[in-house]
């Protein structure tokens, strides 16, 4: 379950506003997870599925949220690498 959804800045020399979420796992541990893809629908109390895999330029972020599972919707209008972002097949 998402406790807090916010943006953070990466380490030097990169510059961006990366979307991350503070997530409380079922075992009670709270971790920071990255939200991949362009745009998201997550907010506080959203239930998400988390996988391992760190984000190299964000210190302390060791997990990623799986798009297209539970409350995290897939990325809209995504045509390439769709399976990684839970995007439906285009018509």
List 23's β-bridge partners, or say none. Answer: 2, 31
Which pair of structure tokens corresponds to residue 39? Answer: 């745009």
Question: What average pLDDT values come out for the chain (91 residues) when binned by 10 residues?
Answer: 96 96 96 96 95 95 95 94 94 87
Threshold 0.85, pTM exceeds: yes
Which pLDDT score is estimated for 61? 96
Q: Is residue 13 part of a domain?
A: yes
Look at residues 4, 38, 45 and name the one whose alpha carbon lies nearest to residue 21.
4
Q: Is residue 70 part of a domain?
A: yes
The answer for residues whose C-beta is within 8 angstroms of residue 47's C-beta and 6 or more apart is 1, 2, 70, 71
Q: Is residue 14 part of a domain?
A: yes
Look at strands 30-34 and 63-65 and give their pairing. parallel
Q: Which residue has the tokens 């297209």?
A: 68
Cα 29–chain centre separation? 17
User: Could you give the number of structural domains in the chain?
Assistant: 1
Q: Is residue 89 part of a domain?
A: no
Q: Is residue 39 part of a domain?
A: yes
Domain containing 59 equals 1-82
- Could you tell me the CATH number of the domain that includes residue 13? 2.40.50.140
Which pLDDT score is estimated for 55? 93
Q: Which residue has the tokens 């959203």?
A: 46
Q: Is residue 87 part of a domain?
A: no
């Amino acid at each position: 379950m998402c406790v807090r959804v916010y943006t953070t800045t990466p380490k030097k020399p990169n510059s961006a506003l990366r979307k991350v979420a503070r997530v409380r796992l079922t075992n009670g541990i709270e971790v920071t997870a990255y939200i991949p893809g362009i745009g998201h629908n997550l907010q506080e109390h959203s239930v998400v599925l988390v996988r391992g895999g760190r984000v190299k330029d964000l210190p302390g972020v060791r997990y990623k949220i799986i798009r297209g599972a539970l409350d995290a919707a897939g990325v809209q209008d995504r045509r390439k690498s769709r399976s990684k972002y839970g995007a439906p097949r285009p018509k």
